[in-house]
């Protein structure tokens, strides 16, 4: 149980375009979802926390107008990177938790974004 | 600001060895601590979660200890196998403003040679 999927696993986009990444909880209701970013040889860094039906809470230094997060249902959250730049190239990982997971976070497999 | 440090950054051992991975954190006011495994280009697999009131957790060949007062945790892997090769991440779990937050170290990249 407690499986989290992400789509796509890899995406390449051109500078200036937008790209959407999906995070789904497959077998539990995710009342909270988290988005992380990981640069090569660096720690995973929390970008934002979203509760179902509410606006996301962004960490300091993360631009909310650039990284749009929607958590409209208990099984789906999306991260849209708007006007992507090469420096946005990174590994994006989501996690989810809910009552069924005893509030422990379960992580998705990640999405590798490359902006050319 | 909470900072998590993992030493060593990389470790290469022959198969069968017992080994210890270290994690230290600067602020002892943590909620829990969790060890993860990350395979190249993949997501995270939770290995062990230690609640702040606990001193250790065990799962199979893995044993994790926690000393909150000194800001340290160790992950002990017994009888290492090539399949254990991965990056091991330590994360402290904070509870701030009604919300949970994980702060990760940079990881220890483990290679177990056959």
User: Are B43 and A108 inside 8 Å of each other by CB?
Assistant: yes
User: Are A112 and B42 inside 8 Å of each other by CB?
Assistant: no
**More confident position, A54 or B38:** B38
Q: What is the pLDDT of residues A21-55, one digit of tens each?
A: 999 999 999 999 999 999 988 899 999 999 888 88
pLDDT at position A112 is 96
Could you tell me if A52 lies within 8 Å of chain B, comparing CB atoms? Answer: no
Q: By percentage, how much of chain A surpasses pLDDT 70?
A: 99
Nearest residue to B99 via CA among A111, A94, A56, A65: A56
pLDDT at position A93 is 96
Q: What angle do CA B83, A44, B42 make, to 5 degrees?
A: 35
Closest Cβ opposite residue B105 in set A43, A93, A106:
A43
Distance CA A1, CA A101 (A): 9
* pLDDT tops 80 at residue B111: yes
* pLDDT tops 90 at residue B66: yes
Q: Which residue of A has its CA nearest to B48?
A: A104
* pLDDT tops 80 at residue A64: yes
Region B4-10 average pLDDT: 95
pLDDT at position A9 is 95
**Which of B8, B44, B91, B92 to probe by mutation at the A interface, max A CB count within 10 Å?**
B44
Closest Cβ opposite residue A49 in set B45, B99, B103:
B99
B63 close to B51: Cβ distance less than 8 angstroms? no
Q: What is the pLDDT of residues A83-96, one digit of tens each?
A: 999 999 999 999 99
Q: What is the pLDDT of residues A52-61, one digit of tens each?
A: 888 899 999 9
User: Are B46 and A104 inside 8 Å of each other by CB?
Assistant: yes
Residue environment code for B62-95, b if the CB has 16+ CB neighbours within 10 A, otherwise e: bbbbbebeebebbbebeebeeebbbbbbbbbbbe
User: Are B104 and A44 inside 8 Å of each other by CB?
Assistant: yes
Structure confidence at residue A102 as a pLDDT band (50, 70, 90) = confident
- Burial class (CB within 10 angstroms; exposed 0-12, middle 13-18, buried 19+) of A35: buried
Structure confidence at residue B113 as a pLDDT band (50, 70, 90) = very high
Q: By percentage, how much of chain A surpasses pLDDT 90?
A: 80
CB neighbours of A10 closer than 8 A, spacing ≥ 6? A111, A112, A114
Looking at CA atoms only, how far is residue B92 from chain A in angstroms?
Answer: 12
Q: What six digits make up the tokens of A68?
A: 């749009």
């Amino acid at each position: 149980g407690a499986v989290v999927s992400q789509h796509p696993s890899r995406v390449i986009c051109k500078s200036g375009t937008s790209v959407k990444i999906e995070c789904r909880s497959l077998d539990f209701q995710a009342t909270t979802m988290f988005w992380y970013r990981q640069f090569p040889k660096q720690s995973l860094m929390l970008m934002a926390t979203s509760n179902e039906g509410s606006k996301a809470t962004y960490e300091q230094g993360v631009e909310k107008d650039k990284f749009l997060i929607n958590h409209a249902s208990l099984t789906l959250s999306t991260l849209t990177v708007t006007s992507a730049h090469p420096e946005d190239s990174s590994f994006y990982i989501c996690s989810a938790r809910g009552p069924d997971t005893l509030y422990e976070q379960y992580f998705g497999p990640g999405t590798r974004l490359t902006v050319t | 600001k909470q900072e998590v440090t993992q030493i060593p950054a990389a470790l290469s051992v022959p198969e069968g060895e017992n080994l210890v991975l270290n994690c230290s954190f600067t602020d002892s006011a943590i909620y829990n601590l969790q060890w993860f495994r990350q395979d190249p280009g993949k997501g995270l697999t939770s290995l062990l979660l230690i609640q702040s009131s606990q001193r250790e957790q065990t799962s199979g060949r893995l044993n994790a200890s926690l000393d909150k007062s000194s800001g340290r945790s160790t992950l002990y892997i017994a009888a290492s196998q090539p399949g254990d090769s991965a990056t091991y991440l330590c994360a402290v779990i904070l509870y701030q403003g009604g919300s949970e937050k994980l702060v990760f170290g940079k990881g220890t990249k483990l290679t177990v040679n056959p």
